[in-house]
Amino acid sequence: MKRVAIVVLSAAILVGFSIAYGAYKKVYQTNVSLNEEQIELYLPTHSSYDDLLSIIDTSSWLIDHSSFQWVASIKNLKNHIHPGRYIITDGLSNNDLVNLLRSGNQTPVNITFQRFFYLSDLAGHLSYRLEPDSISFASYFTSDSVIASTGLARQTAISLYLPNTYEFYWNTSPQQFVLRMQREYESFWNEERRLKAEKAGLSEIEVSILASIVESETKNIDEMPSVAGLYLNRLKKGMKLQSDPTVKFALGDPTKQRIYTNDLKVNSPYNTYLNEGLPPGPILMPSIQSIESVLNAKDHNYIYMCAKPDYSGYHNFAKTYNQHLSNRKKYQRFLRKEGIR
């Protein structure tokens, strides 16, 4: 009887060990096999546990689907579904994978944007990197109630969005995006920058409007403070800004290559050849560099500028109209020589 008992006990131990080892393998053995270091798993907003299983079932990287569901059931993943973007790495066990999804520890997306002319352009750009589509972003950005909540107007709303690189979760909503932009805007406009704007005789919005013109006039960051100083000189003297980029914006073609005499007659509040002072809003989304160039504009006596007769993107500055005419003739000769019309 003792021998039988020992045999039975040994068999039971072996069976128990075998079951425990099998369970251990289901939980901790590698169950993710990739041909690369990592992949992205996107779980849309309002997804259910069944939706998650459907996404995983169609994947080719999960080795054993039944063992995953077994571990997911034990760890109650069904009641801990968190939509988002998750980075799945090679060699994960079921335990690792379930813990990742259960925790909601999604990986942020880096969003970089700059130099957009319209909020619809920004909306389209965001839709490529975040879950909401471009229509959702655009309709929210341009909503009267949303614009009013930011303290801006329809013409100035674009100044809220400071071009930079930001981290967002993939499933960030348009509302969450705007709230984040408001926080960034308020943080940017600290006391030091407000005092500089006040010293220049400008409001925050007026700084952004002028910065958008400066950025449209030159792509060279080191020249921006000089261009900003020129336009500040014109404003102080009560002169029209006469900025070609504002005419392009008024024409509805901000990327237009060349302005002709008839273009300068376009009837628009954005046409600074016809209207004194600043236009009613930015003509593009001003960069931080262009805003800083206005706040730290160079002090000089120039009131005219003309593109240099080369492809450098820099300008010749002038204090008198005759000097400006001379610079303009040089540039026009250059254009004709290059066959640019």
User: Which stretches of the chain drop beneath a pLDDT of 70?
Assistant: 1-25, 341
Q: Is residue 193 a contact partner of residue 295, using CB atoms and an 8 Å limit?
A: yes
pLDDT tens column, 97-106: 999 999 999 9
Q: What residue type is 231 in one-letter code? A: Y
pLDDT tens column, 221-274: 999 999 999 999 999 999 999 999 999 999 999 988 888 889 999 999 999 999
Residue 335: predicted pLDDT:
85
The CA distance from 115 to 80, in Å, is 40
Q: Cα dist. 62→56, 69, 335 in Å?
A: 7, 11, 62
First CA to last CA distance, the chain: 108
Q: Rounded to a whole number, what is the largest CA-CA distance in the chain? A: 121
Domain boundaries, the chain: 25-103, 109-188, 191-300, 301-341
Residue 42: predicted pLDDT:
95
What is the number of other CB atoms lying within 10 angstroms of the CB of residue 312?
Answer: 10
The CATH fold assigned to 301-341 is: Double Stranded RNA Binding Domain (3.30.160)
Q: Cα dist. 217→31, 126, 221 in Å?
A: 57, 26, 11
Residue 13: predicted pLDDT:
54
Q: What residue type is 103 in one-letter code? A: S
| CATH code linked to domain 25-103 | 3.30.1490.480
Residue 18: predicted pLDDT:
47
Query: Which tokens is 61 given?
Result: 């990287």
Q: Model-level pTM?
A: 0.88
The CA distance from 106 to 129, in Å, is 14
Q: Is residue 204 a contact partner of residue 194, using CB atoms and an 8 Å limit?
A: yes
3-state DSSP of the chain: CHHHHHHHHHHHHHHHHHHHHHHHHHHHCECECCCCCEEEEEECCCCCHHHHHHHHHCCCCECCHHHHHHHHHHCCHHHCCCCEEEEEECCCEHHHHHHHHHHCCCCCEEEEECCCCCHHHHHHHHHCCCCCCHHHHHHHHCCHHHHHHHCCCCCCHHHHCCCEEEEECCCCCHHHHHHHHHHHHHHHCCHHHHHHHHHCCCCHHHHHHHHHHHHHHCCCHHHHHHHHHHHHHHHHHCCCCCCHHHHHHHCCCCCCCCCCHHHHHCCCCCCCCCCCCCCCCCCCCCCHHHHHHHHCCCCCCCCEEEECCCCCCCEEEECCHHHHHHHHHHHHHHHHHHCCC
Q: Cα dist. 65→33, 50, 102 in Å?
A: 12, 13, 17
> What's the mean pLDDT when you consider all of the chain?
91
The CA distance from 248 to 255, in Å, is 7
Pairing of strands 164-168, 84-89: unpaired
